[in-house]
Structure 1
Amino acid sequence: AMAAVAVTPLSFITTGTNPDILEAMAVAVAVVGLIVAATGFASYLIDERGRLESFERLQHLALNDALTGLANRVSFNDRLDHEIERAREGGAMTAVIVIDLDRFKEINDLRGHAAGDQALKIIARRLAKLTGDGEFVARLGGDEFAAIKQFKDQNELLGLVSRLEKSLFEPLLLDDFETVTGASIGVAVYPRDGADREKIGRAS
């Protein structure tokens, strides 16, 4: 028989939480339930003592990419909205840098999905190392990554783009196979290229 799944409602989530994040967390709860049911456990109960810890685990599932550990699209959108608001109030500029890997499909086709996953993890680690204070990097899905940077001097932005581009053209060692993916990089800046997340996303 299918296992029963009982989850205590996360009633302590504040009403001000971003609805996109709440939706992602609801999906995470459902996924956890399916996993638990599939493994044959009789029940899965989040009790009072573990509520905060469970909430943090669900939040991590909802806001981070499971493969690479980077922020996911939901996190990215929330952060971009926040950075646009900060830029609007402080007179700074916010850049979105969108990265599409050029030869990722070729790796998957020739070497299999395990090699493709390995490549994504390596690239994610490289991108994470290159981003510092005031910068944010995420995997949007598939072979698409993105970074956010708030800046006042355009040279700061150009420096980050140059570092990202250089790292994306460094060889990847996948077990006994070495390759270079390369990437196409698009940049859009608030407020020059758009007044909100959707317009900036289309321009990048």
Structure 2
Amino acid sequence: MIALGLAHLAFAWTLFVLLAPLIASLWWRCGLLAATSLLSVISFDGLSMASYARSLTDDLAISSLVVLGWLTLQRLGVLRPMAVSRRWVMLLVFAVLALTLYPATLGLTYFDPYRWGYNPRPMIIIVAVIALGLVLMRNALAVVMLAAATLAFTFRIKPSENYWDYLIDPLLALCCCGALLSLGIRFVYRRATESRRSATLSAGNV
């Protein structure tokens, strides 16, 4: 029952986050959130829209739900956008988790870290150390993502018994790796542009 409720939240928040930039008015955005929440429970052939989406994506990780909730509050003006430096760190943490887990899942290596998730005490200690570092860096979103995933695993609010399924999912992995790559390309392009501009100014002053 809890898993189905989380699926409804994931559907409503994802649709809202995607559509909200098209609407400028805060009141209309509130109406959009209500509409997406209502749409998630509308039933077709005995299944809700959220259930159909869940059948395609499986259950999202708890950390993904935290991101969606964070973005929803941001679209509603409750939270401010993250600083770029903190966004870099958050993306890097979850990209490393993805690159640790998914090469084996795709059959690219014989090393299987997924089995760690069934007896995850060492993993939880590592995640706690990472979270402590993120607290010192004041990266609230990444801390909440890791803490919420760990607490959810402790209380087993999802059907899965594997800690990895609470920490990360394929969609979050793709988004983090893609966003990190995009930020990296923009950073390199910006530095190259600044270098060319500096070289041009130096040549003009000669």
State the TM-score, normalized to the length of structure 2.
Answer: 0.29
- Higher strand residue share: 1
- Higher helix residue share: 2
State the TM-score, normalized to the length of structure 1.
Answer: 0.29
